[in-house]
A and B are shown apart, each in its own frame.
Chain A
Amino acid sequence: MADALRLRVDRLDYGGEALFRDLVLDLPKGRWTALIGGSGVGKTTLLRAAAGLVPGVEGLGPAALMAQSDLLLPWLDVEANVLLGPRLRGGVTPDLRAKAADLIERVGLGDARKRLPAELSGGMRQRAALARTLLEDRPLVLMDEPFSALDAITRHRVQDLAAELLDGRTVLLVTHSPPEALRLAHRLLLLEGRPVRLRPLDVPASPTPRRADDPALLRRQGQLLEALAGEGDKGRATCAA
């Protein structure tokens, strides 16, 4: 792939097992790539490797991270949390302050700018984390099940917001949710086996975020769920019964 970020993992073991062997992950620039697979298959490890957090694996360089938990610092208000990156690197400029205020407004937290994380709902916290991710303005955005702790309706709204605000960026999204992957991804990879193989799956051709009632999405969602459920031994046993 010509215009893509390429992550190579020559070998990585986990718990005495061969997790990755000569694995190559291409992330087309400006597109969302989703990794899907059962729990414990290695999705998060692959994302951490891309972030440069796995010893012995060279990451993909500067990235912004959005994790399953919002990771807001409880002693900082929303604005200070959004400015965490510059604060840690030692340079909060007036420009960045203005940008943070703008981003906070765009994720709909204008009135909550000075509030502490403990005073926010789960959806508001994840929106604050989204604003923090956007302020980083990195070429690559890594998202590890960032919406899984939200209720269904909030999740849907925050997905829309993320798709809108991160449009045109290179995004790696780890998820265990077929509807989420199918709503947001331009490219979908299924992780399976030991060592892990990446199996490309079809996604609907329509632009993202796709509607949850898109017939193409719904059909693929069913197929994907069956594929995921049939993957493990437990899944096969259930099917046979």
Chain B
Amino acid sequence: MRGLRPLVTAAGLLLLWQAVVWATGVQRFILPGPAAVGKALWGRRDLLALHAAVTAAEVAIGIVLGCLTGVLMALLLAAFAPLRRWLLPVLVMSQALPVFALAPLLVLWLGYGMASKVAVAVLIIFFPVTSAFYDGLKRTEPGWIELARVMGAKPGAILRRIRVPAALPAFASGLRVAAVYAPIGAVIGEWVGSSRGLGFLMLHANGRMQTDLMFAAVVVLAALSLGLYALIDRLGRRLLRWQPETLAV
């Protein structure tokens, strides 16, 4: 029953949506009903799949690159104190800068292709991943580090064998945030300028009053994001089975 609850809620919302459409007789280019959206989803599945594949690729590359750079930056910050003093304040300040405002610039520099969308996604992901992982590295139980030092471990071994594994749960929560933000970044990039992707399809359909297709694109995007989140969440739980919280589940 518990697993069914969200499905029941969703079905109820869909019914409400259809009821509003019937009751108000609103025109379909303003608000298409779920049936019309379903029809567009099925009827234009080839088109949707084509654009979804582009967006999915941008998101995947964005997550991989964003995580790599974020992890690297966190490791550098944790390992070198001088770097920390010079870089950390700048890094924190840079977060006041809305990445979305940079999207037009990135498109100007990197072109209409995938590169600019990947760049927006990377920029959005970079900070949450860096700060989550760095926080985890910094908060290693001091007793573990002292024990390792008494055992004669070098700082490199302590980082690799103790601090990094201990920071993985923090990294996993950064990764979950990244999974939520990456699709947003890619779509924003596509809105600013592109010829492919779900964001492009949405603008295109909007301009032609094909509101049902636009809704269909949103549904596909939502499914993509949810799938990505579920995948990353499951992966995290699998790798971090030693965590007491996940052990209890």
- The residues of A with any CB-CB pair to B shorter than 8 Å are 48, 51-53, 62-65, 67, 69, 71, 73-76, 84-85, 87-90, 116, 118-119, 136, 142
Contacts and interface: CB of A to CB of B under 8 A. Distances in A.
A136 B147 CA distance: 11
Given A53-B149, A87-B161, A89-B152, 7 more contacts: A51-B150, A88-B151, A88-B161, A88-B162, A89-B151, A116-B247, A142-B150
Contacts of A69: 143
A74 B150 contact: no
Given A65-B146, A89-B157, A74 B152 contact: no
Q: Which DSSP category, helix, strand, loop or mixed, fits chain B's interface? A: helix
Contacts, number: 64
A96 to B, nearest CB: 13
A58 to B, nearest CB: 14
B139 to A, nearest CB: 14
A73 B165 contact: yes
A220 B222 CA distance: 73
B157 A85 contact: no
A193 to B, nearest CB: 27
A88 B157 contact: yes
Nearest to A64: B150
Given A74-B243, A89-B153, A118-B247, A53 B161 contact: no
Contacts of B75: none
B157 to A, nearest CB: 5
B142 to A, nearest CB: 10
A75 B247 CA distance: 11
A11 B181 CA distance: 54
A165 B143 CA distance: 24
A64 B165 CA distance: 23
Contacts of B162: 73, 88
A89 B152 CA distance: 7
Contacts of A116: 242, 247
A208 B16 CA distance: 79
Contact of B151 (A74, A75, A76, A85): A85
Contact of A71 (B144, B152, B168, B242): B144
Contacts of A84: 147-148, 151
A154 to B, nearest CB: 21
B232 interface: no
B165 A71 contact: no
A194 B27 CA distance: 86
Interface string B206-249: 00000000000000000000000000000000001011100100
A22 B86 CA distance: 41
B143 A62 contact: no
Contact of A90 (B149, B157, B158, B244): B157
Contacts of B161: 87-88
**Pairs A-B, 9 closest by C-beta atoms:** A88-B153, A75-B242, A85-B151, A65-B150, A74-B242, A71-B143, A88-B157, A118-B244, A71-B147
Contacts of A89: 151-153, 157
Nearest to A69: B143
Nearest to B239: A75
Interface in B148-173: 148-153, 157-158, 161-162, 165-166, 168
Nearest to A52: B150
A53 B158 CA distance: 15
A88 B243 CA distance: 22
B179 to A, nearest CB: 23
A53 B151 contact: no
A88 B148 contact: yes
A75 B165 contact: yes
